[in-house]
Homo-oligomer: A and B are copies of this chain.
Amino acid sequence: MLRITVWNENLHEKESPEVAALHPNGLHETVAAALRTEEDFVVRTATLDQPECGLSEEVLAETDVLFWWGHMGHDRVPDEVVDRVQDHVLRGMGLVVLHSGHFSKIFRRLCGTPCSLGWHDDARERVFTVNPAHPIAQGIPAHFEIPNEECYCEPFAIPEPDELVFLAWFSTGEVFRAGCCFHRGYGRIFYFQPGHETAQSFGVPAVQQIYRNAARWAAPVKQVPEIDCPWIAPLEQG
């Protein structure tokens, strides 16, 4: 059983009739639906307007992998919530950051960099699998298309990814490292570029499969060990 929490700021949905129409139950439910096809996934959602942003210690303690979607409300996430999420990632909770989450406090903190990028709207996207043997690429074709996405563009101000899985091509003339893996403490982090609130990515089968693959890949590999600064007894000379 894999316990997943999908977090969404849930702001565009309230302000934009277009977004509300595309995601009638919120973008978090759109993502959650793509995950709920797996029998062994137990998926819940959490949003910015809930107490503690829906990310209390209790919720995080019961979360194996956290999905994160945010954009206009990054600054509304209190630092103590970010502290708590970071602590859980370092202790083993997986984190899957979608699209504009590149600028979230939690992703920037785990990267240590600005995570800035170039962008503009309205492009056709083609996603290429550059690491076909990676667990997140299982069942994904060599390349697939998204009819309409927001264009993101290099340079992407991240640390060199520990594993690069996908690259994006945009019809308007840009490339982007669209699927990047990072390891921080005992936690695994996957950044995935598709997912603009008005884009057609969410219904693309390969995108949905990547969500599911990423959840499995990011799952904690063992019970949480201590991360602290222990005093080590010197080796006994024998």
How many copies of the chain does the oligomer comprise?
A: 4
Q: Mark A141-157, 1 if CB is under 8 A from B, else 0.
A: 01100000001011111
Binding site for B on A (CB under 8 A): 86, 90, 92, 103, 109-114, 116-120, 123-124, 126, 128-135, 138-139, 142-143, 151, 153-157, 159-160, 162-164, 167-175, 177, 182-188, 221-222, 225, 227-235, 238
User: Do B172 and A222 touch across chains, with their CB atoms under 8 A apart?
Assistant: no
B123 pairs with A175, CB closer than 8 A: no
Q: How many Å lie between the Cα of A153 and that of B90 in the bound state? A: 19
**Bound Cα distance A157, B153 (Å):** 24
Residues of chain B within 8 A (CB-CB) of A230 are 118-119
Are A184 and B113 closer than 8 Å at their CB atoms?
yes
In the complex, what's the smallest C-beta–C-beta distance from A145 to chain B, in angstroms?
9
Q: Which residues of B contact A114 (CB under 8 A)?
A: 90, 185, 227-229
Are A232 and B160 in contact (CB-based, < 8 A)?
no
Apart from A143-B154, A157-B185, A174-B232, list 15 A-B contacts with CB within 8 A: A109-B109, A109-B112, A111-B112, A113-B184, A116-B228, A118-B230, A123-B234, A126-B173, A126-B175, A128-B155, A130-B154, A130-B155, A164-B164, A167-B177, A172-B234
